[in-house]
């Protein structure tokens, strides 16, 4: 059963993490002034990111996704210990009167959930790759990471997707 988390909503302006040093990644993509795609992560076509470190993979939604979704006012994530399946929904975010599925890029077991999102769902907007992480997973099939996109491929994917609409 999903862990429901309500939040007192505060307006969080989107802040691109160019000035701060994110602990997740040592370097930014230099393709733009304010980077919205980080090196060292893998990306899904449904706009989630994965950071694989040792036996744990951290998952969240990308800057591109939070920008298109608008102000996130509520986050629904599963309880720790449950399974996730590649390509399937594990939770949702609410923004601008819409609930949007968040899908897992990989399969595995949830080992940790970001409980800060209870009171601060806006972290997904202000810090999508750092404090806005959603779940940590123990991958059951690490080879699934190989089918995900790298930073350059994902950047191009986003540009093409936006250009098509």
Q: Where are the beta strands (DSSP E) in 54-157?
A: 56-61, 72-77, 83-84, 89-95, 98-103, 108-113, 135-139
Instruction: Count the residues of the shown chain that bind another protein, applying the rule CB under 8 A.
Output: 25
Asked if residue 159 binds another protein (CB under 8 A), the reply is: no
CA 140/CA 107 separation, integer angstroms = 6
- φ/ψ (deg, to 5) at 59: -130, 140
Asked if residue 87 binds another protein (CB under 8 A), the reply is: yes
Cα–chain-centroid distance for residue 63? 8
| Stretch in the footprint of another protein (CB under 8 A) among 25-33, 77-85, 91-99, 148-156 | 91-99
For another protein, which is the closer residue by CB, 76 or 131?
Answer: 76
Asked if residue 99 binds another protein (CB under 8 A), the reply is: yes
CA 158/CA 64 separation, integer angstroms = 8
Interface pick for another protein out of 37, 41, 59, 69 (rule CB under 8 A) = 69
Pattern 100-139, another protein, x by CB under 8 A: xx-x------------------------------------
Number of other CB atoms surrounding residue 70 within 10 Å: 16
Q: Which residues bind another protein (CB under 8 A)?
A: 6-7, 9, 46, 68-70, 73-74, 76, 87, 89, 92, 94-101, 103, 161-162, 165
């Amino acid at each position: 059963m999903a862990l429901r988390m309500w939040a007192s909503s505060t307006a969080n302006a989107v802040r691109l993490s160019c000035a701060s040093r994110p602990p997740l990644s040592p370097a930014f993509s230099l393709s733009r002034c304010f980077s919205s795609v980080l090196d060292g992560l893998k990306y899904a076509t449904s706009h989630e990111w994965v950071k694989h470190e040792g036996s744990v993979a951290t998952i969240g939604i990308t800057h591109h996704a939070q920008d298109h979704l608008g102000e996130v006012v509520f986050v629904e994530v599963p309880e720790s210990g449950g399974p996730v399946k590649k390509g399937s929904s594990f939770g949702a975010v609410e923004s601008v009167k819409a609930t949007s599925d968040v899908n897992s890029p990989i399969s595995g077991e949830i080992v940790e959930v970001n409980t800060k999102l209870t009171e601060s769902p806006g972290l997904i907007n202000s810090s999508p790759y750092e404090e806005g992480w959603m779940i940590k997973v123990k991958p059951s099939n690490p080879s699934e990471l190989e089918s995900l996109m790298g930073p350059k491929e994902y950047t191009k994917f986003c540009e093409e997707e936006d250009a098509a609409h």
